[in-house]
Amino acid sequence: MSKKLLCPMRHTAMATSIIATIFATTPAHAAGLEYTKQSILPIFEDGNYAELTYAYVDPKIEGHDVTGGLGSAQNNKIRDMMDDFNIFGAAIKVAPTEDTALALIYDEPFGVDTLYTTGSEFNNAMGTTEARVDTRGLTLLGGGKIHNNVWVYGGLEYQQAEGFLTLAQKFDEDPIYYDLKTSGKSHTYIPVVGFAYEVPRIMLRAALTWRGEGRHSLKASESLLVNNGLLNPTAPTDYNHIPSGIKQALALPEVTFGPTKLSLKTPQSVNFDFQTGLSEKYQLLGMLNARWVEWSKFEITPHAITQVVGEPLAEYGKDAYSVEVALGKQFTPKFSGEIRVGYDSGTGEPLSLLGPYDAFKTVALGGSYDVTNNFNVSAGAQYIWFDGGLAYSKLPIEDTLSQRAIAKFKDGTGYAVGMKLGYKF
């Protein structure tokens, strides 16, 4: 392949990385709480470059609670409990010299947008199950060529987090309502390092990027209401006001709900991004993106509710792996397109009420058009198939932990659409 023929394709085909930078943003938390796959691809753009990205994501997941037992006709339907959401991104990359690069990348890597409507166990007279988590990341990267075609890069991500959670459920057949309010925003710094190997003549690049875990700490307040007729036949009872003798009889711990310190860690991850020219004649580019995320060590454990239910408020059973393969083609000197398929292993059962699905598959189409030599517009759409499963809860019964199913979620679907504006300066 001649460099002369492939250079034009490099500009347009790489601009279709809208799919790699937004729709690698697999919807509805990817695995765990993910909204994006924290791509660092802008640092590989030619020369000085800036971009703005936007994606709209609409997942649909339904099921039923199992108040009457698995398979019972008494179970209540859970209507679509995943809200649609928007994701914004931006990046600017400068090349001080031919063999060095600096990039500043903004994304929104983790999030939750969950709301259970009326009709199931997870919405009662005291309130509903709802979770909102927002994170924002700003990553500063610097890199340079150290030998022939080998690049190294590294930097720090500044990450900000905030959110709240309410939980309506049943506890030993009594409706409960739990409220976790956080105050302010948490801030943390996360290391990012990687290296890449490039052969520009054939558009080959392989990049491996490691991102560390982020440690967040938030001031918070917990409250728990229990609707038990023996405690109060006319109104729910605050957990703090339940007499000690009744707590002992029900094997409930002597714990006080109120101000607390909420600590959590966003997981470390490894991304592998690969591309190579496949055909000079047909102007084809092959791409592969793979990712590992250490979700097995993630948990949210507010002090009081964790003592009462005997388990973390949120946790995942295993690490997540994902892979996407794509084929890009330049159709004209100004227009190129891409098709991409992907698979994410999920985090296994039991499913989380915050994002109740396991593995999922995706297919995406994107196009890129050079409006001028410096300005590019890209757009794409993605469709998603989610695998459902069971959500469980561990409740203390006779001083032991007994695991029971609380909901069964059907396979779901979703879609995402997005746009990217790129400018070379």
pLDDT at residue 401 in the model: 41
pLDDT at residue 403 in the model: 57
Q: Please tell me what DSSP assigns to residue 232.
A: -
pLDDT at residue 394 in the model: 58
Angle at 183 between CA 127 and CA 91, to 5 degrees: 105
pLDDT values of the chain reduced to their tens digit, one per residue, 425 residues: 333 323 323 333 333 344 454 454 333 346 788 999 999 999 999 999 999 999 999 999 999 998 877 878 789 999 999 999 999 999 999 999 999 999 999 999 999 999 999 999 999 999 999 999 999 999 999 999 998 899 999 999 999 999 999 999 987 778 999 999 999 899 999 999 999 999 999 999 999 999 999 999 999 999 999 998 888 888 999 999 999 988 888 788 999 999 999 999 999 999 999 999 999 889 999 999 999 999 999 999 999 999 988 888 888 889 999 999 999 999 999 999 999 999 999 998 888 888 899 999 999 999 999 999 999 999 999 999 999 999 887 554 444 444 578 899 999 999 999 999 999 99
Please check whether the domain covering 3-424 is classified as CATH 3.40.50.300. Answer: no
pLDDT at residue 68 in the model: 77
For residue 213, give both structure tokens.
Answer: 């875990």
Taking the domains of the chain in order of start, what are their residue ranges?
3-424
Burial of 107 (C-beta count, 10 Å sphere; 0-12/13-18/19+): buried
